[in-house]
Structure 1
Amino acid sequence: MGKSLLFDLYDYSMSRTTRLTYDRGTLILHPPPRGKAWIDYATWDDRIEKFRIQALDYRYLIETLQSEDIDLIDSAKEFYPLDIKLQGNKTPYPHQKEALEAWKQAQRQGVVVLPTAAGKTFLAQMAIASTPRTTLIVVPTLDLMHQWYAEIKASFSNIEVGLLGGGSHDRTPILIATYHSAAIHAKTLGNHYGLLIFDECHHLPTDFFQVIAEESIAPYRLGLTATPEREDGGHHYLNRLIGSVIYRKTPEELSGKTLAQHQVISLKVKLKKEEKQRYEQAIKTRNNFLKQNNISLSSLQGWQLFVQASCRSNQGRQAMLAHREAKEISMGTQGKLRLLTELIEKHYPDKILIFTNDNNTVYKISQEYLIPAITYQTPVKERHEILQKYKEGDYKIIVASHVLNEGVDVPSAKIAIILSGTGSTREYIQRLGRILRKANQGEKFAILYEIVAEDTSEEKTSARRKGETNYSVNKPNNNQGEIIFYPQINQGLRAAEPKTTWGEEE
């Protein structure tokens, strides 16, 4: 941009008040204000000869201009206050109060990490009540969308609550949307909501979904999850999109308080002689191929290289088939089924959930034990009917694969049995969470059994899912939860208290 144009713009700006407008997911600042601090957020757009600013930086831009006493006409903001009050007489747990306070101290931006069944939905309702602005709640599945809708509508009966997704296209003061629908409509939603709440926020850092946060001007953001860490490292983007982790509690810290007391019991079974021989031969075939092609399966990239190499030759295809055979042997060994029989006999008629890593084993158990099965292939109406009968006690046991890990309201169980699973810590915590809800059982004691085939790769998989610690925070001495305060949320934002209060309510 030439000097003459800069001078022209400066002279023009001296005669007119700067205006901020929202334009399809970005902000336009024109004429340019005096001072230099705002330029850190701006990019010159030659097409319109004006400065553009990312919608995500709206709050920081406003605070910067206010700190320099620069007059501004804010035509971008279309979110507004709500006259709301949280209905009912539900008393929050101590950890919910602590989490809300930590969020407020972090300028109402950040991620709260709580285990499944620890009351993340009610915490969100507390956040809405304490920050009464138009609110967009984003959830990963249609099931969760309808669950949130029912709870939010009951808690804020005087405010119109709407849905975006599954055939609904509402535009209401409080809107609940799926990640997919919110991403599609991000450019039109972006300036209408002052508070963003991301349920299961570990879904957000993807190329498709992160536009929901990037194209929104919402000054307040709350992320909720049991496990923010992602295997691809994408969780680091949450700092920019929502804010840093400001509060964390583990299942162990809430055991016996908010959550039921629980015990995790690992049981090992030996392969039968012929199973062991087949397993070792399959692993040998696979490993010989990996060695010849200098591939290690210790990383996600290694697995991708294996998949690519397996498509290029008959030897590669045989290696992949051998890999799958080894997994099937370890996951479905007869020793596991015998132990499963013993555990069912021991705990029946307590409610039991059985988890496996593959649908074939689900259907095998369902047929042999006459147990209702739920997989991704189960029709929605049938799945809801099974869960309802399980809730009412007509069914005592359900066997499922990954479909019950997340996004489904599973009635409280007492016993969970993991016959096979992935190395994902998230999956492990989600499955544990299925038995931690107290419901009406004040002295409930839950047990998670993990059955692992001895001397197989399952042992390493089990260790990974129970031993990952991808985050680094200090353990508190007072058992008050891990509260991490980040006053400097955005680089370039000065630590001084901003002049605006953004209408915050206590």
Structure 2
Amino acid sequence: MQGKQALRNADLRDEYRSDRGDVVRAFYMPALAVARQYDRAVGYFTASSLAVLGKGMDDFIQRGGTMRIVASPYLEPDDVADIEAGYELRSVLERAAIRDLERAAESRQAAVGLGKLGRLVSEGRLDIKLAYVSSGNRVGMYHEKIGIFRDDNDLVAFKGSANETLSGMVGNFESIEVFRSWDDRDAERALRISRDFEALWQDRTNFLRVINFTEAVRVVTERYPSGLASVGDIDEIPADGAPISIPRQDVPGLLRIPENLNVRDYQKTAVRNWLSEKGRGIFRMATGTGKTLTALTAAAQLAKAMQKTNQSLLTVVIVPYQHLVDQWSKDISWFGVAPIRAYESTAAWYRHASNLLDTLMLGSASCGVIVTTNKTFGETHFQNILDRYSGQLLVIADEVHNLGAKHLRTKLPLRANYRLGLSATPERWFDDMGSAALTEYFGNMVFEMGIGDAIKAGALCRYTYTPVLVELDIEETELYADVTEKIAKILASQQFTEDVDDDSPLGALLRKRSNILGHARAKLPALRSQIEKRQDSWYQLLYCAEGRHPLAYEEGAREEDTQLDQVMNLLGNELRMPAARYIAETKRAERQEVLRRFGAGDDLQILASMRCLDEGVDVPAARTAYLLASSSNPRQFIQRRGRVLRKAAGKSMADIVDFIVMPPEGSGIVHYETERRMVARELTRVTEFAHLAENEAETLDILRPLRIRYGLLDT
């Protein structure tokens, strides 16, 4: 055991104390990760401690590690009376120790530990002895607390206040001192502790006696599973067309598939694929195809497997926005678990999350779910919660592409055995490093369902597509050319690292160029013409560009309302249509009321939004979408299309109106190749939308003159 897999490379300190960190994660688990033998002599030992050590103990067992344990059973008054009455001491001590084990098995955490004990015993890799004080006529308890980890060359000895119990490891305030055989300052004491354990094991310690207990343990532990859960323990997902089974017994606190949920065949396929990859992977599923319910079905199957092996499961769901926390929480409650919503004030959720961890670690709960926002997930308080937990962990990331950002991807918990990413567009735009980091963490794409497949499957409705051509004015064209030139210089320089965050110079320029197209002034008259054609229709969504026109920030620029303000004036004052804003600044309760009124179909005719309707908002009633602004980032326009394609009662068709920006013909301001690239970027979206539209041929005819003008017939 040379190199990295050695105790001397485990970075073990000389002292650990509860007020300075998690003793289990900081000491026990790193030592177990490289040790081949673990010896422990303690006053009290319970099997729950092995479950607390979680994956560290699982890895130790899988590597063929061996253990020797010396402990002292708890003697009740009846035990003492039997000893005084002359009953055989050995039988009384064994009876007391077995009673401790069987009582502990009522706890989920201890039952898992008993399973692990049983595997070690059955494979001949664990011996247990009972120790007691024997001096004259006195029989007393053995209370020493020492331990030794060994690899092929070195040993680490420790002693301190902690018993090998659940409370000793995660509940009490404890401290231990550590002595390393390769450190000249520690070597003598480390070897002395090792010799003391050997003397105890060989029953050569004055005033102490030890008796074998391994066979008695075997009788108890044979009744418990091995404790090493795997995705292979999960029930087979039924074939397409067959219902997913629902547990007959309603286990309190266990995620379970609702009886009235119709799990579609493609969702079953997604879950099967994820399970076959041992609970890791990414679902690329079009907006409206039920990513949330598919993910919760997978989580329910995993929770059932954990329950079979008496292990608890913590599921952490990470979403971009607060309204998605609420939406996920509603669905999770339908699956039988009341989730903790972690966002806004830390005081509102931290204590509840902390209590949940305690109940999971103590075996009082079999399942727990925390739903949080990207922002809260990345903050210190939430990271501390994750650091404390050592049990089975499932991470579900909704709109997973967001977690590829540099400030978030480093926060993802590496110790999560199970990981699931969800998105219609998992790849990060202009960020290959972020995309690669997501694949490395969550795994490969294990299921894909695009909008075309979803329409064929009946999961989304059919649609018509109307592209509307508008031109930039002279000022907008000049600014577009200037920004494009700056982007080209960065891409050609060493400053470009293929890792583009929004606040980077390249990210800011890309956003500015997109905003020029989004705010094109010619869009408002064109929008009026399109809305007038549908003035009697309800359930209409309108996506505006964010902020103000980029020219508003140029020196000497004229005052100009935001595009959203101009749209609301057009709808309410000029066309007299009932409309409402749906923006991030609106309080969450007010936004929910706006959605309710919109869905009623007799109060609000149009919702005008910026980014708020991009990810996750459920507005299935929407029939028409005006894409007044869509960036060239595929994620945004795919999300916006998906919003209006959701199925709803009485809805068989959707209508998408898309405003396509092009440079003014013959202006001479922009170089021809720059013009051509601008149009090509816009046509990428148009081609994607037109391909699946009911009126594809008509759409292509509208755009044919533009394609000919710029030599883009193949685009």
TM-score, normalised by the number of residues in structure 2: 0.51
After superposition, give the CA deviation of every residue in 1:318-374 in whole Å (9 maximum; x if it has no partner). xx9xx969955773333x333322322333313111112224111111112113223
2:638 corresponds, among 401, 404, 429, to 429
1:278 corresponds, among 475, 479, 498, to 475
Within 5 Å, which residues of 2 pair with 1:184-223? 184=380, 185-189=382-386, 190-215=389-414, 217-223=415-421
Q: Measure how far apart 1:409 and its partner are.
A: 3.4
* Distance across 1 between alignment mates of 2:597 and 2:268: 35
After superposition, give the CA deviation of every residue in 1:137-173 in whole Å (9 maximum; x if it has no partner). 22222111111111111221xx443222223222232
1:459 corresponds, among 679, 688, 691, to 679
Name the counterpart of 1:354.
542
After superposition, give the CA deviation of every residue in 1:371-409 in whole Å (9 maximum; x if it has no partner). 322333334343333222111121111111112212433
* Distance across 2 between alignment mates of 1:299 and 1:391: 51
Asked if 1:69 is matched to 2:250, the reply is: no
After superposition, give the CA deviation of every residue in 1:105-146 in whole Å (9 maximum; x if it has no partner). 111111111011110111122112211133222222211111
Q: Which secondary structure does the structure 1 equivalent of 2:31 belong to? A: strand
Name the counterpart of 1:386.
594
Name the counterpart of 1:489.
none
Name the counterpart of 2:25.
23
Q: Measure how far apart 1:6 and its partner are.
A: 6.6
Name the counterpart of 1:240.
440
Q: Which secondary structure does the structure 1 equivalent of 2:644 belong to? A: coil
**Counterpart of 2:610 in structure 1: which amino acid?**
S
Number of matched pairs: 413
Name the counterpart of 2:275.
104
Asked if 1:168 is matched to 2:349, the reply is: yes
1:193–1:145 CA distance, 2 compared to 1 (3 A): farther
Q: Measure how far apart 1:258 and its partner are.
A: 0.6
* Partners of 1:412 and 1:434 within 8 A in 2: no
* Partners of 2:628 and 2:658 within 8 A in 1: yes
**Counterpart of 2:571 in structure 1: which amino acid?**
Y
Within 5 Å, which residues of 2 pair with 1:249-328? 249-256=449-456, 257-270=458-471, 275=473, 277-283=474-480, 290=486, 294=489, 301=496, 328=516
Within 5 Å, which residues of 2 pair with 1:3-152? 22-23=24-25, 27-30=29-32, 32-34=34-36, 65-71=60-66, 83-132=254-303, 133-152=313-332
* Distance across 2 between alignment mates of 1:400 and 1:284: 28
1:350–1:437 CA distance, 2 compared to 1 (3 A): same
**Counterpart of 2:623 in structure 1: which amino acid?**
K
Q: Which secondary structure does the structure 2 equivalent of 1:267 belong to? A: strand
* Distance across 1 between alignment mates of 2:624 and 2:321: 26
1:177 corresponds, among 372, 387, 394, to 372
1:363 corresponds, among 555, 565, 583, to 565
* Partners of 2:267 and 2:294 within 8 A in 1: yes
* Distance across 1 between alignment mates of 2:264 and 2:25: 42
After superposition, give the CA deviation of every residue in 1:187-229 in whole Å (9 maximum; x if it has no partner). 43242443221111112223332344334x2222111111110
Asked if 1:438 is matched to 2:647, the reply is: yes
Q: Which secondary structure does the structure 2 equivalent of 1:373 belong to? A: strand
**Counterpart of 2:649 in structure 1: which amino acid?**
N
Q: Which secondary structure does the structure 2 equivalent of 1:367 belong to? A: helix
* Partners of 2:546 and 2:610 within 8 A in 1: yes
Q: Which secondary structure does the structure 2 equivalent of 1:369 belong to? A: helix
Q: Which structure carries more relative contact order (alpha carbon 8 Å, separation 6+)?
A: 1
Q: Which has the larger radius of gyration?
A: 2
* Distance across 2 between alignment mates of 1:6 and 1:103: 34
**Counterpart of 2:372 in structure 1: which amino acid?**
A
* Partners of 2:619 and 2:644 within 8 A in 1: no
* Distance across 2 between alignment mates of 1:196 and 1:62: 21
**Counterpart of 1:459 in structure 2: which amino acid?**
V
**Counterpart of 2:570 in structure 1: which amino acid?**
E
Q: Which secondary structure does the structure 2 equivalent of 1:134 belong to? A: strand
TM-score, normalised by the number of residues in structure 1: 0.69
* Partners of 1:420 and 1:452 within 8 A in 2: no
* Partners of 1:111 and 1:224 within 8 A in 2: yes
Q: Which secondary structure does the structure 2 equivalent of 1:208 belong to? A: helix
- Structure 1 regions of 5+ residues with no counterpart? 11-19, 36-57, 312-319, 469-506
Q: Which secondary structure does the structure 2 equivalent of 1:372 belong to? A: strand
Q: Measure how far apart 1:102 and its partner are.
A: 0.8
* RMSD over aligned Cα atoms: 4.3
- Structure 2 regions of 5+ residues with no counterpart? 11-21, 38-53, 68-112, 117-165, 172-226, 230-250, 304-312, 357-367, 548-561, 573-578, 664-674, 689-715
